[in-house]
């Protein structure tokens, strides 16, 4: 079996649904042993989430299968004496404790940071919450859509006529999970030097604002308030969605050389000589007119033809695909991004799950086993339902 960077790292995972489980899944892919601590008889809410009612009834909903392959499951009631004793045993032997309760819940359960540090001075405790562990909003409930709205993300998604719009997947949960996985990995590296654990207080709101990049920095540094621009890129032109013969095409000719090459390949070598389009700032100021001229030319061929022609000459361009089409791309298949794991429980069924896009020493990171049944590993950890 391939040696992975987090082999030997033990993670106790108290999280539910997405941000926390997505974080723990990243750690699993890098080799960590993740033990999900779940409510007896109920488990992670994601076990009952997904488009297949049958799987939901079996407590292996699609949402759960997607983020929990390779983990272990124990059932513990942290409000019972026996459950607390088992939990403390897990924490004492762990490297990481991951949770996504509202601020203050762990303290009310009797497991604030001081108590956890006393149990295990080397523990890395990562708390993912909507707004962080302190501040006027710290106790407020938060789902992904709430964070999307508060972060400003929805205000810049869509067109002036349709904004605010929700991004089409739980992007803030994903960002929170990725930032938590990064923070935990950094903390483990730091502990290797100092021997001391630490408390990581992660705010999904702040992580999401940070991930918006130029949208935020353009305002902070230059005072330019961002506006929704639909399928157009605010930083360059021509850069956005265009019209091919059979459907939409993304083109991002952000550099002068790319723009000139694009114009030549679509049969409009005259456009770079037009004062409205000659330079970057002029093109952005006359974006609508430029897009009109390019669309007239691009409608002559299919999106795939343009993708191949433009990409070959160094102009970034690609079709706009559906999710099934994206998953079927030869590039995705070539890198081993998708992998089949056994379906939890008896039988020979399998399910397909994603990796994370990392190929380590030529081998794509994959989960080492299926998602667990609820309480599947109770005996292994002497868990008490």
Tokens of 381: 């950890």
3-state secondary structure of 172: helix
Alpha-carbon distance of 332 to 286, in angstroms, equals 37
Alpha-carbon distance of 128 to 105, in angstroms, equals 12
10 Å CB burial of residue 302 (0-12, 13-18, 19+) is middle
The residue whose two tokens read 């207080």 is 201
Residue 327, C-beta contacts closer than 8 angstroms, at least 6 positions apart: 338
DSSP class per residue in 188-242: HHHHHHH---EEEEEEHHHHHHHHTTHHHHHHHHH-------TTB-TT-SSEEEE
3-state secondary structure 285-325: HCHHHHHHHHHHHHCCCCHHHHHHHHHHCCCCEEECCCHHH
Strand (E) or helix (H) holding 363: strand 363-364
Tokens of 293: 């001229």
- Would you tell me how many other CB atoms lie within 10 Å of the CB of residue 7? 12
Q: Annotated catalytic residue: which of 173, 201, 270, 274?
A: 173
Annotated catalytic, 173?
yes
Residue numbers annotated as active site: 173
């Amino acid at each position: 079996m391939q040696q992975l960077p987090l082999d030997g790292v033990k993670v106790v995972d108290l999280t539910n649904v997405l941000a926390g489980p997505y974080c723990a899944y990243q750690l699993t892919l890098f080799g960590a042993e993740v033990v999900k601590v779940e409510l007896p008889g109920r488990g992670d809410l994601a076990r009952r989430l997904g488009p297949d009612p049958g799987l939901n009834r079996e407590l292996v909903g699609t949402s759960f299968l997607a983020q929990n392959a390779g983990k272990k499951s124990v059932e513990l009631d942290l409000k019972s004496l026996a459950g607390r004793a088992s939990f403390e045993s897990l924490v004492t032997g762990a490297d990481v404790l991951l949770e996504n309760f509202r601020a203050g819940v762990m303290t009310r359960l009797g497991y604030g940071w001081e108590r956890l540090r006393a149990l295990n001075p080397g523990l890395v405790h990562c708390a993912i919450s909507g707004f962080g562990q302190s501040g006027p909003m710290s106790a407020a409930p938060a789902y992904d859509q709430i964070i999307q709205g508060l972060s400003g993300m929805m205000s810049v998604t869509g067109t002036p006529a349709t904004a605010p719009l929700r991004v089409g997947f739980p992007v803030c949960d994903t960002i929170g999970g990725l930032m938590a996985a990064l923070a935990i990995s950094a903390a483990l590296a730091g502990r290797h030097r100092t021997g001391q654990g630490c408390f990581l207080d992660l705010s999904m709101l702040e992580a999401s604002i940070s991930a918006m990049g130029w949208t935020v920095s353009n305002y902070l540094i230059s005072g330019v308030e961002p506006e929704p621009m639909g399928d157009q890129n605010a930083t360059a032109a021509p850069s956005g969605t265009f019209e091919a013969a059979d459907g939409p095409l993304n083109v991002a000719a952000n550099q002068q050389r790319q723009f000139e090459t694009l114009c030549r390949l679509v049969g409009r070598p005259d456009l770079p000589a037009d004062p409205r389009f000659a330079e970057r700032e002029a093109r952005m100021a006359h974006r609508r007119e430029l897009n009109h001229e390019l669309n007239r030319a691009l409608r002559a061929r299919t999106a795939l033809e343009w993708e191949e022609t433009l990409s070959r000459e160094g102009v970034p361009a690609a079709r706009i695909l559906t999710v099934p089409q994206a998953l079927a791309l030869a590039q995705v298949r070539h890198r081993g991004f998708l992998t089949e794991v056994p379906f939890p429980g008896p039988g020979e069924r399998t399910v397909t799950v994603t990796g994370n896009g990392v190929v380590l020493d030529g081998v794509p990171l994959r989960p080492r086993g299926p998602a667990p049944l609820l309480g599947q590993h109770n005996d292994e950890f002497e868990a008490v339902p």
